[in-house]
Structure 1
């Protein structure tokens, strides 16, 4: 068991705390926030409550995401790893089951900056536009399935002058039925919707936010 009692999270999301692995500092351990699964289940629509706790556990969903068709038997030098951290599985920790993955670091050895933070500092400049376009092309080429691509779930691997975006959360498909993994046409349409929504979110993040994200997202869907 990995002892995290002396560790403090270096980051926390809505559902998980992120720790640096005490024995492998180049790895990240994500642990569900205590009681969060129960909270998500309590707020879920009735039909989602018919499923087990795995539907509300981000670690279980991440494991499923890394076992999708595009990644299941990917070679070590496959293009799928150009914009994804390596994943090492689920391990027991003193804080509960932890999803262990590669920790994306900056040049100083600290956890890499999120796209959200970059946009706050520098806006949607040409450098990050190119990085976003490269990431979108990678999605199309690799066929990797993601949920909504949110700026706080993408980090910048390289320097500001030559950034490469890496998806650290939100892997897997949001659609319940598996058509997008089975049929090429369905997969292409699914990925294009994710990419379109990614651009809409980035543009909203750098706007005056005169409207809510939900309103902006609705407009994006109708375009």
Structure 2
């Protein structure tokens, strides 16, 4: 069991706390917030409640994302934009999703896309990194949920800025066609990439327009 009693999260989201492994700081440990799955179940519409609490466990959803066909193939180059997965492991705070940490040159957690955009805007280096990431998604047919700015991190590798997806693997499609068909996988991925660029556009805007409205208007163009 991994003991996190002396550790503090380095980051947190709405559902999980993120820790560095106390003995292996290059490893990331994600633990669900106490009571969060029950809370999400209680707030869910009736047609989702039959799935039970496990449906709302982000660690289990991440495990499913890493079990997709594209990752099972383990082709050369697959991990150039993904942290490696080490499964669900027990901690004193409950089950945790365990992956590689994406670290910067100083050994700190790599900056998120949101942090980059806030500091540099959508400059040529960031744009080129996101374009390479988009091409990789299509080439390897990696299925993701919405590609949002705090689930992508960037770090310099061999003089280039490299984008990594640290959360949001999986398929959000109601029908499983993208999971079994290359044709539908690429269609699905292209839509996610389109939404990613819209999200980037929104991130560098004044954000006076709420994201959902901005997205809907952008998809109509």
TM-score range, shorter chain: over 0.9
Residue matched to 1:90: 88
C-alpha deviation, 1:161, in angstroms? 5.8
Where do 1:55-66 residues align within 5 Å?
Answer: 55-66=55-66
- Which deviates more from structure 2 when the two are superposed, residues 176-185 or residues 201-210? 176-185
Mapped partners of 2:198, 2:83: distance in 1:
25
Conservation of the 8 A alpha-carbon contact between 2:41 and 2:52 = no
The alpha-carbon deviation at position 220 of structure 1 amounts to: 2.2
Q: 1:219 to 1:161 in 2, by over 3 A?
A: farther
- State the distance in 1 between where 2:183 and 2:218 align: 21
Corresponding residue number in structure 1 for 2:106: 108
Q: Give the count of matched residue pairs.
A: 221
CA RMSD of aligned residues (A): 1.3
Q: Determine if contact 1:180/1:187 at 8 Å carries over to the other structure.
A: yes
TM-score by length of 1: 0.96
Q: Structure 2 matches for 1:15-164, cutoff 5 A?
A: 15-74=15-74, 78-158=76-156, 162-164=160-162
Q: Gaps spanning 5+ residues in structure 1: where?
A: none
SS at match of 1:158: strand
Q: Which runs of 5+ in 2 are unaligned?
A: none
The list of structure 1 runs, each at least 4 consecutive aligned residues, that deviate by more than 4 angstroms after superposition, is none
Structure 1 pair 112–41 and aligned structure 2 pair: CA distance change class (3 A): same
Of the three residues 172, 175, 179, the one matched with 1:174 is 172
Residues 156 and 162 in structure 2, CA contact (< 8 A), matched pair in contact too: yes
Q: Does the residue aligned with 1:25 lie in a helix, a strand or coil?
A: coil
Normalising by structure 2, we get a TM-score of 0.96
